[in-house]
Structure 1
Amino acid sequence: MVAREGSMTKAAAKLNVSQPSLSVLIGDLEYNLKTQLFERLPAGVRLTAHGEELYAFAETIIQQTDSFEKKFHEKEDEISGDLKIVTTPFTGTNWLVPALKDFLKKHPDIKIKILLRSEDFSPIDGDVVISALIPHQPHLIQKPLFSVNIRLFASSEYLKRFGIPQSIEDLNHHRLITYKGNYYTAYGSTNWVLNVGIKAGQAPRTSYFEIDSLQGMFISAQMGYGIAELPDLFITPECGLIEVIPTLVGPTVDLYYIFPENRRNSKKIDKLFQYLLKKGRPKY
């Protein structure tokens, strides 16, 4: 928990223990292992190389223990009990919750729990994860559900005020709604709209309105703040957004149904997958 939170104080609050006692426990662990696990920083802590190694080992043990307990208490033919699903706030709110209606009617003894995570998906947090592919996880079964495309959308109010862009170059003169501005990860920029059509040596476009929530981007576009890149999965005529430059299609995002390999015989996990696969994505 300390490694996940990057803070003794935050971890202590989540574990419902005092910060000094947690610091003592970490200190005892480091003493017994004869190595430093955390580097103390002014604003928290971060793992050392040895800490990263231990964290990866510990996470594997936790996953195996959690999966064993669930498998131990669940009969293979059982279609009842809790089913915990981890997914993104946007996918969970706009697609998963409405999609589950018929499934819950058919299986009234299943109790669904949905955990919404913007980043840092951990399979140990739930029975199933619905997200993009989680790399380097051979112990997970990752089944494709469907794909979505990133496209540009704006409200009619915005387009009446600022005009309708006809080309990629026109985007240079428009207000752009983005996720954390020109935010870079190990996989590149998260904001395609800031970089599409930009030539080598040119600076990317700048954000007009930044927010670290996909749902927030969606609402900001509805409010007429600017043009946002959004998954076309949830855009309907009723939402009040109009596609901008329809010939311009952004990256494809594949969504997967993910669960531990040792839960492959869980009937309720399989039933939910078959249901969601048949349900598919809403028509754009």
Structure 2
Amino acid sequence: MGKTIILVGCGNMGYAMLKGWLAAGKLKAGEIAVVEPNETLRSRAVSHGIHAAAAPEELEASTADLVVFAVKPQMIRDVVPAYRRFMPDATFLSVAAGTSIATFEDILGTDAAIIRCMPNTPAAIGEGVMVLFANARVRPEAREFVSDLLSANGAVATVEDEALMDAVTAVSGSGPAYLFHFIECLMAAGEEAGLPAETARLLAMQTIYGAAALAKTSGEDPARLREQVTSPGGTTAAALSVLMGEDRLKSLMREAVAAAKKRSIELGA
């Protein structure tokens, strides 16, 4: 697959992806064109030496290998039709949350090669999760190229059933907010236990960061890591008796993920 990429939208997610591609050496500036109507956002792409246009009609490229839609879901039906001209050679990649493959096929036609991606916000620092679902029109080499490209923004996973994207949204798409709230709660609990606010903040953030890094790199099952920290009758055991008693935290997370999945299904309907 060649390297002629059009990025439609240079907002927070679009720009984060763009910076990751360039920083990792996945693409060169001359291989990318950006379409962004907002001048301030467009200037960010220009600052990296990338050709940026305010509208698709201003694009210099007459062909494209990959067109990436990083726009809000409610804009899809207004934005996408202008890029039909890049068929049949282009693969279309969408990071618009909740927007189904069927929606794109309705706009572009059933012959369009479409990949749907659910990213999350840590992609901005190259530590995200990018989950992909592709329709049958996407060629194997295109899948491989997109997976490699997105690896600049974090881990890449694929699902073979698009219906699973609602569960993906509920776990990894919305998941960072769950952890942010957990950090908030741990900070507040630390303050109530007598710690200065800044100390509580540092302890909560670094503890979550370090524990997550250890869980990722150790190769151990999280349950095993928990057991290693928990001495019988100790302080950790006392705290876990609150969190794990009657499956409190497990039940709460199950309800939270179910609620997010339900809402994802509703928004995609």
Q: TM-score scaled by structure 1?
A: 0.32
Answer 1 or 2: which has greater helix percent: 2
Report which of the two has the higher share of strand.
Answer: 1
